[in-house]
Structure 1
Amino acid sequence: CTSLIQGCNKLIFHGTILETDLKILAEASSSDIITLCNQSFNTAKALGINHIVFHSDYIPGYSQKKEWLLRSIALWQEYMLDKPPNLHIYIENFVDNDPDIMAELCEKINDTRVKLCLDTGHACANSKVNVGTWISTLGSFIGHAHIHNNDGNWDCHWPLGKGILDMKHILDTFHSKAPNTTYTIEADYLQ
């Protein structure tokens, strides 16, 4: 695999996706999660990649905000303790429905190597807060974005011009509120 990616100057590795099974996620200890994340780190490191995206694993209606926030802050602070200064991680909104908790998470982790990955399709499908507000709220905490469109109900991964999101407005808002953001287009153009 290493030979296939030679010459690529900026690679971002998508780390392990923790469970969406509530029982498994609720029972996972911080050390279990760190072990899984370290597997992703070791794979990325072997490939020469020092940027990794991980899902937040906040589950609205199941996760208790305050408990989840305290646990996540402690988890990411512990995770980054033994990581090299050139490692950057991006915590991605998955089924999250509130940008405020993501902003508070990043602020309280208080590590310049930890930023957020805003997934526009996830925000659109899983939140009543419009994507422009997500961007404005998260602002400089955003380091990377996954951009794609949908119908507002499902995470369809539609092309940028298909769906309910005004992608020009969204990209303008990124440029204004989070100008150093890098992007991955996660759209299925075969539909």
Structure 2
Amino acid sequence: MPTRPLFATLFYEAALAAPDLIAELDEACRALAEEDQAGRRWSRDHGYRGYTSYASLNDLPVRDPRFADLVRLLNRHVAAFAADAAFDLGGRRLKLDSLWVNVLKPGGAHSAHIHPHSIVSGTVYVAVPPGAGPLKLEDPRLPMMMAAPTRQDDAPEMLRTFVTAAPQPGSVFLWESWLRHEVVPGSGKNPRISISFNYR
């Protein structure tokens, strides 16, 4: 074959396989959205349509054992992703650096961004109502494509400029932290609840 793919960008998708924990996390996330006044204020001041604990709470696994249970499961998924990516970690494992709750109201979005100072980022999905916005991933080479033509509508996923991933409750998505991604506005009528995190 004269053409072969190079420089793969990996995206990990799996199920948390813990429906009882997802139900418990749903309750925990909704409670935080009601009780965390600092997070509500930050969300309002920064135009976040809904609630996030991103700038207000940095100790969720210590504060609530339900989040600690989640981290134990996420550690396994992140280790599997690190192995798939052939990371040379010198016998060490990636460790959780930060974890935060997102309760996105209907019509809410999160513009394209990266996660500096971490190696692996991801999200576990707690509530995904019909019509909720998917995760949109951007080809990291996009700024350097210059005169490249657009791709055909039926191009294979590995050749597309943007790829969307539609989660289900319990989905775990992982990617390298330099990969630009965003949450697309959805048409759902109920909040989209997720828990995002970084490992380094």
| TM-score after normalising by structure 2 | 0.27
Higher helix share: 1
| TM-score after normalising by structure 1 | 0.28
Higher strand share: 2
Larger radius of gyration: 2
